[in-house]
Amino acid sequence: MTNINNLEDEKKYNKWIVVLSILIPIAVAVLFNVKLKDFGFNVEPLTFLPPIYAGINALTAVLLVLAFLAIKNKNIVLHKKLMSTAIGCSVIFLLMYVAYHMTSDSTKFGGEGVIRTVYFVILITHIALSIVVIPFVLITYVRAITNSIERHKKIARITFPLWLYVAVTGVIVYLMISPYYI
């Protein structure tokens, strides 16, 4: 059972959760369309980043699965470390993703027919769920650090598959578009 102090502790974070859940997608959308060269910066395109941030997505997926297995085996300390690392990886991914798009033009998918439809279904669900998962991750994390464990478990059952889907589809999107990078 969650006690009142845990709920009060959670409430302290709610404004930050709302702000970050709105600000992160807006900032990414805006920065995605900002090119540093348009502001006079002589920056080489960071074309080496996509395989790196795809790798970070893959690592995040592995960390999530390992964290799930750790908690199933009641290894709370390992679970916490793995989850903190997964959050760190997601932040690093996001920074690299934005840096790439601020220095490089977007790559167009060149596939045709059914594979094109498959690609866009995966891409659109990936993008939509990458926005949706932000508050889930933040709420899940706050419930863990405020020791609202029962409430943490309830939302983690939703957060885990969403976040795992976003991490895995990020890799799939990269693999599908990588032949079309210039």
pTM, two decimal places: 0.90
Q: Where do the domains of the chain lie?
A: 4-180
What per-residue confidence (pLDDT) applies to 4? 61
Which contacts of 68-76 are long-range, i.e. CB under 8 A and separated by 24 or more positions? 68/160
CB 149 within 8 A of CB 8: no
pLDDT tens-place string over residues 44-54: 999 999 999 99
Is the pLDDT reported for residue 74 higher than 60?
yes
pLDDT class for 10, splitting at 50, 70, 90? confident
Q: Do the Cβ atoms of 168 and 56 come closer than 8 Å?
A: no
**pLDDT tens digit string along 131-143?**
999 999 999 999 9
Residues 142 and 156: their CA atoms lie apart, in Å, by 11
Q: What is the pLDDT of residue 38?
A: 87
**CATH match for 4-180 among 2.40.128, 3.40.1350, 1.10.3210, 1.20.120:** 1.20.120
Decide if 39 contacts 146 (C-beta within 8 A): no
